Amino acid sequence: MFDIPPVSHASDKDIQRKIDTKTKPPSALGLLELLAMQIARVLGKDNPIIVKPQMLVFAADHGVSQEGISIASNEVTQQMVMNFISGGAAINVFCHQVGFALEVIDCGILSPLASWPSLVQQRLGEGTQPFHRTKAMSIETVFKGFELASQRVEFHYQQGCNLIAFGEMGIGNTASSSAIMASVLKMTAKECVGRGTGIDDEKFARKIQIVEQGLALHKKDLTDIYHVLACVGGFEIVQMTGAILAAAQRKMLVVVDGFIATVAALSAIQINENARDYMIFAHQSHEQGHKRLLDHLGAKPLLNLDMRLGEGSGAALALPLIQAASNFYNQMASLTDLGIKID
């Protein structure tokens, strides 16, 4: 379905030499040097610049949100989407500050909103079914979500974008993400479930129970990632997964936000492992399963600010660091420029 080439390492020596001969001690820029290497591999070693960075925020509702596992009701999903499109959320502030264009995608919130220039309708339904009682969605819906997400990424690719970031909004989506993580990594619900928006002990225990019930109910059907997404996934997680794969197929840099986005990245890697080469992990979420997930993926996030907001907020804040890595690689003087002989 997604033909993603592995990133070539043929120019690694040239890229590393260019990094090492900048006017600095070897490895003095730390993770920025590793990031510059990745950017040059993906975008080309000669002049890899970030063009038209785009943030996509996918929003959807979840059937399990009715089970008392969050501090907010699922009406908040719609209210926050309205906040996004009117410019009042953290993601709006951060995107404006750092230079991300922002687009919000309705993947299936309970009540659709009226037409708005920055809101794209890619609805797969009016929220998923409660996954501890039945499948969250059909397998056909998963593939439809992939198709819609791919079309949206293709649109931005055709506009010249070569870096795309993903955020999400959906009350209950940390429960769905925890269930996906537990299924794929063969972990327990207790190892994956976190407190999301900051739930108390009673809600936390209920959330673990809901995930355990869902995993037990669908145990025989969790045979591959497509069925995992159908059984316990969310509309926004499905579309993020498809968007990540589509972006990697187009050799774009993919900026992965927090826990939910990283679960989508994990799902994408299950479909095509080459997608991993294109991913930049923005930050480590406060959500307890996120560090385990990042460790599994061998990912070193650029930031650790104890955040748990979602929305793509961490991905937005990481953009200046990504640009800094590209800019030092392209613009910083070399020892040769200064007439210093290099052995």
Instruction: Tell how far CA 123 is from the center of its chain.
Output: 19
Angle (deg, nearest 10), helices 288-297 and 259-271: 30
Residue 17, judged by CB atoms within 10 A of its CB (0-12, 13-18, 19+), counts as: exposed
Closest CA to 116 of 76, 86, 91: 86
Q: Is residue 81 helix, strand or coil? A: helix
> Residue 311 catalytic?
yes
Q: Which residues, including other chains, have CB under 8 Å from residue 36's CB and lie 6 or more apart?
A: 15, 19, 29, 325, 326, 328, 329
Cα 242 from Cα 238, distance rounded (Å)? 6
* Catalytic site residue from 33, 67, 103, 311: 311
Measured CA to CA in angstroms, residue 182 lies from 113, 145, 222, 267 at distances of 33, 22, 11, 12
Question: How far apart (Å, rounded) are the C-alpha atoms in residues 52 and 162?
Answer: 7
Q: Which runs of E-coded beta strand occur in 81-225?
A: 101-108, 119-121, 163-169
CA dist 36 and 33 (Å) reads 5
Q: Catalytic residue positions?
A: 311
